[in-house]
Amino acid sequence: MTAGWGWPLTPTYANVAAMVPPDSLGNFYSGVGLDRADALRRDETWVAAQRADPENRVILVWRNHNLVRRAETIDAVWLRIAEAPVLRDGAAEPVFLGRDGETAIFAVDLSDLAEAEAQTLAAKHGIFEDLRTVGPLMAQRDGAVLAYARGLLYWHQRHRFCGVCGSATISAQAGHVRSCTNADCGCQHFPRTDPAVIMLVHDGERCVLGRQKIWPPGMHSTLAGFVEPGETLEEAVAREVYEEVGLAVSDVTYESSQPWPFPASIMLGFRATCAHGPMHFATDEIEFAAWFTRAELMASPEDESFRLPRRDSIARRLIEDWLADG
């Protein structure tokens, strides 16, 4: 169960997949390809039966690290429930990710285990790795499923208490809701993903790339920032560009999006036009930014003097699409 693209569409989600233009599935960490079975996951009897079926599968996560198998390739480990005593004995609270055909896929967070325990458990099957490190080396679909598992379990970790009354919450609807245990409150909390805009700013001939101090040496990338309450995505693009480099953009157009569970974002990719001009950095965010021609970017040495963003990022996609338009 480690195939990348070419994974057969099953009837259960063919209709959903058919509604989405193929191009929009292109970014890494997209293309989970599971039927999320919203109606079934509300049915506790059905969910319990799936948890008890030894042939169903479980994705293990420990402290935001995913279980992977390192061989010639790096693959997700889709453990059979029969091989996962943590799920069988009811000690861990599984989250239902969806169905792959008739096979139910769960994710389980083992973060309560000490490191030695987690490594012992993992040793028979693989190793816990940070998806930020191994993701770019994996088949896209494996990366997408691991990102989904990590993102949803991260939300559970961070929402153990009700934000309204402070009481404990419990997982419901197979992990797609957390319900407040205070009967007087009863608030339901739903998984969150934070919208962030990321934009290639260009004047037709040159584009703006910048870098932050915390990035790997030499890495330059597109500008980005979180969407704030009370603004449209286009307004967020214009605000962030102005805040970070002091440029005024026009013609903001949507390109594509990417789930980015590091830890909890959905990246919304745009292209924005801007008149060529000097920049003023907000140095607390941007260490450096400049205009680059296509020829300069295509000659990138990809070393510590200058490199483009990682290949699994939408930033790279935005840059490569702009280069291809030249």
Q: By CB under 5 A, what part of segment 134-163 binds Zn ion?
A: 162
Q: Considering only residues 137, 187, 233, 323, which one is a binding residue for Zn ion as defined by CB under 5 A?
A: 187
Tell whether residue 185 is a contact of Zn ion (CB under 5 A). Answer: yes
Our CB check for Zn ion shows the closer of 111 and 179 to be: 179
Smallest gap from Cβ 190 to Zn ion, in A, equals 14
Our CB check for Zn ion shows the closer of 12 and 182 to be: 182
Our CB check for Zn ion shows the closer of 164 and 282 to be: 164
Q: Are 37 and 66 in contact (CB under 8 A)?
A: no
Q: Of the listed pieces 60-68, 184-192, 244-252, 274-282, which binds Zn ion according to CB under 5 A?
A: 184-192
Closest Cα partner for 58 from 109, 6, 112, 126?
109
Our CB check for Zn ion shows the closer of 172 and 187 to be: 187
Going across the sheet that includes 188-189, the strands are: 169-172, 177-180, 188-189
Q: Are 308 and 302 in contact (CB under 8 A)?
A: yes
Our CB check for Zn ion shows the closer of 166 and 204 to be: 166
Tell whether residue 181 is a contact of Zn ion (CB under 5 A). Answer: no
Closest Cα partner for 290 from 224, 164, 202, 182?
202
Q: Write the burial class of residue 22 (CB in 10 Å: 0-12 exposed, 13-18 middle, 19+ buried).
A: exposed
Q: Of the listed pieces 149-157, 167-175, 261-269, 307-315, which binds Zn ion according to CB under 5 A?
A: 167-175
Smallest gap from Cβ 162 to Zn ion, in A, equals 3
Q: Are 151 and 144 in contact (CB under 8 A)?
A: no
Smallest gap from Cβ 159 to Zn ion, in A, equals 11
Q: Considering only residues 2, 182, 212, 300, which one is a binding residue for Zn ion as defined by CB under 5 A?
A: 182
Task: Say which residues have a Cβ less than 8 Å from residue 124's Cβ, sequence separation at least 6.
Answer: 83
DSSP label at residue 149: H
Q: Which residues of 48-59 are buried (b: 16+ CB within 10 A; e: fewer)?
A: eebbeeeebbbb
Tokens of 296: 């300069």
In whole angstroms, give the CA distance from residue 57 to residue 78: 6
Q: Considering only residues 14, 18, 20, 165, which one is a binding residue for Zn ion as defined by CB under 5 A?
A: 165
Give me the residue label for tokens 């990348």. 4
Q: Of the listed pieces 85-93, 146-154, 182-190, 206-214, which binds Zn ion according to CB under 5 A?
A: 182-190
Our CB check for Zn ion shows the closer of 159 and 310 to be: 159
Tell whether residue 164 is a contact of Zn ion (CB under 5 A). Answer: yes
**What residues make contact with Zn ion under the rule CB under 5 A?**
162, 164-165, 167, 180, 182, 185, 187
